[in-house]
Each structure stands twice: as structure tokens, then as C-alpha cells.
């Protein structure tokens, strides 16, 4: 399908920032940095993460594990305090009078005036993990006021501040660089690998061809020949990273664009990404490549069912019609400071061949809804569950194997699965074995011999039975320390759709706060200084998603 010869020219345009329009800064003085030390960003807005675009920027701590103090980016009131075992961990939301909300996540500790309100609410509800909305009269914070300490709570792999600016009304996260909260950046984005995808006229993906390999010095450019492709339509896909001054981290690239013979064909900019659209990351990248090889390669074209609105052109963006004449493709990768990486490709339709005009006939249209059934297994698929037409097979072999489609096909809506069997009990769930042998619970409940569950991934599942309660082991329980810690374990892991293990701690029957650190499988009991001198028993209640429960008692 592809000729062996190809040509890639890489040119770095050094003096480009004057000749290209920069993004508009929304209000350059409203927000200030939430840290006092020099702004070093280890994660940029819109970076390609698993199932989402990064909704904020990550500020690096100034001295590793010694956590930094954090300060309000602008004056405003505390509108929300959220405490979660995973995800953002301990987070704080401030609403400002310019219509934006700032979000501070993975906090180690809240400032005392915020902690006071949180603690009061937690004891009132007897609930450690909560999502607490406050009105504007409760806690007002001045710009630059201390709000808490940088931490590593929730899904975080080292102390840092995850910082977001959201439109208050829509809750859509906006790139903080648009408010001038940005690091120094004089380095152009890097191109790590380059592909040509063959497409049909509607932008359905057919096949991929790897064009370039990165070597240690940069990008290999050797052949002077033209890329000949046996197809009517193609798209370009590439892996790119941006680098900033003073850090080695590879961050996301802000803007990608492409021209065909000087005509704008594709434009993609990461100014904002709504939470409703963020899962379309799996359509924006080559999802099967990511699942099999592990790298995120972004498509410079739009799949028909990709509902992400970050593309400037609405009609067939990036779909390149080929002819027997040579076409020039100019690809520009740009960071927020308009440092550019430019790539030039020459492409044409293969001379002596019959292009494959038909792709494999697919059974499910991406824009239609379906009810599929195979014996006792059935599945309801809403319209727009897929980014292009797909083939789907259902298969089952009792409880041992429930097979639903191809695991390399990304799913955007929840599919309703139902499986009927007289063997089912209320301790059964839908699960999947990971490569390390652990089984992940994908939820589900049994009613009238039917297990129902909602899934957003395809592939093979099994139905497992869980009759064992979670276990807990003491790590430290010193009366002189601020917190006590315990190791928690359960026989099955929980997926995102499955509820966490329920934990409740009591001292001689009186409720006491804890934090469930899900990634480290730890229970941290708080407020040890509030425990009476003559207290005797700490009891910890544990309930797993299948309602297996036990109470473990520790002498104080």
C-alpha cells in the first residue's frame, strides 16, 4: 500500500513569534500564582492522559517532599471542599467575581479557617469523604491568603499542586496560560513519531503506516523521495511533546495545524476542554495504538463520531484527498509561546495501482442505537457510543467468559449489559483479570437471575463471586501522634464504575474522622488529640461493594 521512499523536512522557525498570531490573554493580572516559588510546570493543560485531557496545570513543589504553602490565586469565597479517596484527594474550590473558579487539588492540608468548616460538616454528617458546597457567606479568602499545603492525596504520584481555572457557570476548565499563569518557555515542541493513516471519504480509519523513528539527536530525515500511498484519502497522525525552560518533563503540545498546498486543512487548539467531551481523547488519539504499543499518537484529522469541539474546521478536518499530483503538507506544532516545530511532507497517490475503495463492511453505525443479544447475554448501545462504525460480536460460555466486542475499540457512552443465569447470586459481579492476576470489579448487581452492569470498555469479562469481607491491619497507633494508620486490603479491586470500600471509624461508639488513601491502601484516622484519656476501643467497620462486612476492634 505504501511506497518505501518518503521525504520529511524539519525546519525550526526561530523568528516565528512575530509573524504568527498568539493566543489572546483573557485577563493578565486577575490571577496570581498559587505558589511563592518560581513557577515550574510539570503537567500542562490538555496533556494526553488516560481517558481524559489534563484539566489543569501541575505546579512542581519547590523542595520535593517538604510540602509548600499554597495561596489564593485571586480573592473569592470557598464554594466547595471535596474529600475523595482517589481522584483529586483533598481539593478546594474558590469562586471569584470575574466568573471563574480556581481549583486546588491533592492538598495535604487545608488552612485552619477552611479546615474548621470542613471538620464541622464531617462530624455533623458523620462522613469523612464528602463533596461540600458552601455559600458565599461562609469563608472569604483574600488574594494571596494562605489556603493550605501542597500534597499528594488522591490519584497523584508525588507532591504537587493540580491547579485549574474553570468557568464558574459551565464548569468548563480553561487553559490557565490564557490568564498569563505560565512558565518560561523558549523550547519548541518535539516531534517523536509520525504516521500516515489511510481513510475513507468520511474519515473512517482503515490502516496506519509508520513514517519516522526518533533517534538520540532528534528526528531522522534521510530520503528525498515522495510518499506514494495506495489510497483515495489519508490523514496524518503524530506523537509530540512540548518542553519548557528548566525542566526535563515532556508536556503536551498546545496547538497543531496542517495545510495542504497552502490551504488550511486542520487546526486543533487546547484552550479549553469540557468534562463532557474529555473522553473523546480516545478518538483524538490512535486508541488501538495506545492500547497495544502504549504511546499517545494524536490524529491530525477528526473521526466521524468524535464530538470534541477543539477543532476549528467542522467539515472533514484533516481528511486529505490524494491525487496523482504531488501534494505538499505543512504541519505546524506550536506551544503557547508560539515556539514552532514545522514538518513538510510530499504525498501522492500511488501511480500504478487500484486504490482500495472499500473498507471492511462494518455492522454498527456510530450514530445509531442498537440492542444486541446472543442467548442469555444482551447489550444496549446508545447512539454515539463509538467514534466510527464498528463490528461487534457477543459471545458467552456460562459465567466463565462474557465476550463483548474488541478491546481496541474505545467507547464513549455507558453500554447496558445483561446476563441471565440461574447460577447467579447477589454476591456475583462482572470482573476482568489483569496481567498481574488481580481481578477488577466492573460492577453489576443481580436481580431475578439477571446480572446487570454498565460498561465503557469492550473485551472479555468473567462473572466472579465475592463472599469475603475486606481486611485491616494496624500500622501505627501512638497516642502522641496526630494520626493513626492502618493497611486495608480486599480480595478484589474496584474499577471506576464500582463503589469504593465503605469505611467507618468509631472510638467507644463515637464517630471519628478518617481519610482513605486509596492508592496506598491506607486508612488514616484523624483527630487523635480529640480522643478522651480513658477511651478503650477503636472499631473500624468495612463494607465491600458486594456488601461483605466486618467490624475490626483495636484496643487503645
Q: How far is the CB of 58 from Zn ion (least distance, A)?
A: 4
Residues numbered 7-46 forming contacts with Zn ion, rule: CB under 5 A: 43
Part in contact with Zn ion (CB under 5 A); list of ranges 9-17, 158-166, 472-480, 485-493: 158-166
Question: In sequence order, what DSSP letters do the residues of 485-528 get, joined into one string?
Answer: EEEEE-SSEE-TTSPPPEEEEEETTEEE-EEEETTTTEEEE--G
Confirm or reject binding of residue 58 to Zn ion (CB under 5 A). Answer: yes
Which of the ranges 17-25, 156-164, 269-277, 339-347 carries the binding residues for Zn ion, by CB under 5 A? 156-164
> With respect to Zn ion, which residue has the nearer C-beta, 172 or 439?
172
Nearer to Zn ion, 244 or 512 (CB): 244
- Greatest CA separation for the chain: 91
CB 238 within 8 A of CB 268: no
How many CA atoms are closer than 13 Å to the CA of 18, on its beta-carbon side? 2
Residue 162 makes contact with Zn ion by CB under 5 A: yes
CB 402 within 8 A of CB 396: yes
Give the number of other Cβ atoms within 10 Å of residue 126's Cβ: 12
The nearer residue to Zn ion, 57 or 237, going by C-beta atoms, is 57
What residue spans of 157-275 are helical by DSSP H?
Answer: none
Nearest residue relative to Zn ion (C-beta): 162
- Rounded to the nearest angstrom, the gap between the alpha carbon of residue 374 and the centroid of all alpha carbons in its chain is 33
Least separation in angstroms between residue 318's CB and Zn ion is: 28
Q: CB nearer to Zn ion: give 31 or 233.
A: 31
Distance CA 466, CA 450 (A): 17
Instruction: Specify the stretch interacting with Zn ion by CB under 5 A; choose among 52-60, 146-154, 166-174, 429-437.
Output: 52-60
Q: How far is the CB of 91 from Zn ion (least distance, A)?
A: 11
Q: Quote the radius of gyration of the chain (alpha carbons, Å).
A: 27
User: In the bound complex, what is the minimum distance in angstroms from residue 335's beta carbon to Zn ion?
Assistant: 18
CB 331 within 8 A of CB 238: yes
Q: Which is nearer to Zn ion, 43 or 189 (CB)?
A: 43
Nearer to Zn ion, 101 or 257 (CB): 101
φ, ψ of residue 515 in degrees (nearest 5): -125, 130
Closer residue to Zn ion (CB): 163 or 429: 163
Give, for 116, the enclosing helix (H) or strand (E). helix 112-125
Tell me how far, at minimum, the Cβ of 105 lies from Zn ion, in Å.
Answer: 7
Give least dist CB 228 to Zn ion, A: 43
Instruction: Tell me the closest approach of the beta carbon of residue 54 to Zn ion, in angstroms.
Output: 6
Query: Which of the ranges 51-59, 260-268, 465-473, 541-549 carries the binding residues for Zn ion, by CB under 5 A?
Result: 51-59
Half-sphere exposure of 188 (CA within 13 A, CB side): 20
Q: Which residues form the interface with Zn ion (CB under 5 A)?
A: 43, 58, 162
Amino acid at each position: 500500500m505504501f511506497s518505501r521512499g518518503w521525504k520529511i523536512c524539519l525546519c525550526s522557525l526561530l523568528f516565528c513569534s512575530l509573524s504568527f498570531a498568539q493566543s489572546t490573554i483573557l485577563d493578565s493580572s486577575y490571577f496570581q500564582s498559587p505558589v511563592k516559588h518560581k513557577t515550574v510546570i510539570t503537567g500542562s493543560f490538555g496533556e494526553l492522559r488516560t481517558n481524559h485531557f489534563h484539566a489543569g496545570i501541575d505546579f512542581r513543589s519547590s523542595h520535593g517532599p517538604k510540602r509548600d504553602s499554597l495561596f489564593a490565586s485571586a480573592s473569592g469565597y470557598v464554594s466547595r471542599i471535596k474529600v475523595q479517596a482517589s481522584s483529586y484527594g483533598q481539593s478546594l474550590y474558590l469562586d471569584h467575581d470575574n466568573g471563574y473558579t480556581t481549583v486546588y487539588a491533592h492538598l495535604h492540608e487545608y488552612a485552619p479557617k477552611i479546615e474548621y468548616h470542613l471538620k464541622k460538616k464531617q462530624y455533623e454528617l458523620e462522613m469523612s469523604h464528602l463533596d461540600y458546597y458552601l455559600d458565599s457567606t461562609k469563608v472569604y479568602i483574600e488574594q494571596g491568603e494562605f489556603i493550605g499545603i501542597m500534597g499528594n492525596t488522591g490519584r497523584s504520584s508525588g507532591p504537587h499542586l493540580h491547579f485549574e481555572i474553570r468557568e464558574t457557570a459551565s464548569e468548563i476548565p480553561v487553559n490557565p496560560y490564557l490568564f498569563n499563569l505560565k512558565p518560561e518557555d523558549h523550547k519548541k515542541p518535539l516531534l517523536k513519531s509520525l504516521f500516515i493513516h489511510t481513510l475513507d471519504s468520511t474519515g473512517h480509519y482503515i490502516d496506519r503506516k509508520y513514517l519516522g523513528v526518533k533517534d538520540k539527536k532528534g528526528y531522522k530525515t534521510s530520503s528525498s523521495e515522495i510518499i506514494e500511498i495506495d489510497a483515495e484519502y489519508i490523514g496524518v497522525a503524530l506523537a509530540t511533546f512540548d518542553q519548557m525552560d528548566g525542566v526535563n518533563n515532556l508536556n503536551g503540545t498546545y496547538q497543531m495545524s496542517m495545510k495542504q498546498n497552502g490551504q488550511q486543512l486542520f487546526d486543533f487548539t487546547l484552550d479549553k476542554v469540557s468534562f463532557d467531551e474529555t473522553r473523546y481523547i480516545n478518538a483524538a488519539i490512535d486508541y488501538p495504538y495506545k492500547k497495544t504499543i502504549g504511546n499517545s499518537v494524536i490524529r491530525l484529522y477528526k473521526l466521524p463520531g468524535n464530538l470534541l469541539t477543539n477543532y476549528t474546521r467542522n467539515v472533514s478536518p484533516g481528511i486529505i484527498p490524494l491525487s496523482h499530483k504531488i501534494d505538499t503538507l505543512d504541519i505546524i506544532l506550536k506551544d503557547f509561546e508560539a515556539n514552532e516545530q514545522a514538518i513538510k511532507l510530499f504525498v501522492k497517490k500511488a501511480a500504478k495501482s487500484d486504490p482500495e475503495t472499500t473498507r471492511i463492511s462494518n455492522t454498527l453505525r456510530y450514530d445509531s442505537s442498537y440492542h444486541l443479544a446472543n442467548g442469555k447475554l444482551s447489550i444496549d448501545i446508545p447512539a454515539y457510543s463509538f467514534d466510527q462504525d464498528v463490528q461487534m460480536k457477543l459471545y458467552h460460555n456460562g459465567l466463565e467468559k462474557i465476550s463483548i466486542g474488541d478491546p481496541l475499540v474505545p467507547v464513549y457512552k455507558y453500554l447496558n449489559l445483561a446476563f441471565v443465569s440461574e447460577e447467579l447470586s447477589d454476591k456475583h459481579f462482572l470482573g476482568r483479570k489483569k496481567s498481574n492476576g488481580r481481578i477488577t470489579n466492573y460492577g453489576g448487581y443481580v436481580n431475578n437471575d439477571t446480572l446487570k452492569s454498565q460498561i465503557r470498555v469492550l473485551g472479555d469479562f468473567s462473572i466472579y463471586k465475592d463472599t469475603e469481607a475486606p481486611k485491616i491491619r494496624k500500622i501505627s497507633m501512638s497516642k502522641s501522634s496526630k494520626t493513626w494508620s492502618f493497611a486495608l486490603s480486599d480480595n478484589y479491586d474496584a474499577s471506576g464504575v464500582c463503589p469504593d470500600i465503605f469505611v467507618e471509624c468509631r472510638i467507644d461508639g463515637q464517630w471519628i474522622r478518617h481519610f482513605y488513601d486509596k492508592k496506598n491502601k491506607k486508612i488514616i484516622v484523624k483527630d487523635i488529640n480529640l480522643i478522651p484519656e480513658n477511651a478503650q476501643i477503636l472499631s473500624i467497620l468495612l463494607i465491600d461493594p458486594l456488601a461483605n462486612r466486618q467490624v475490626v476492634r483495636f484496643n487503645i
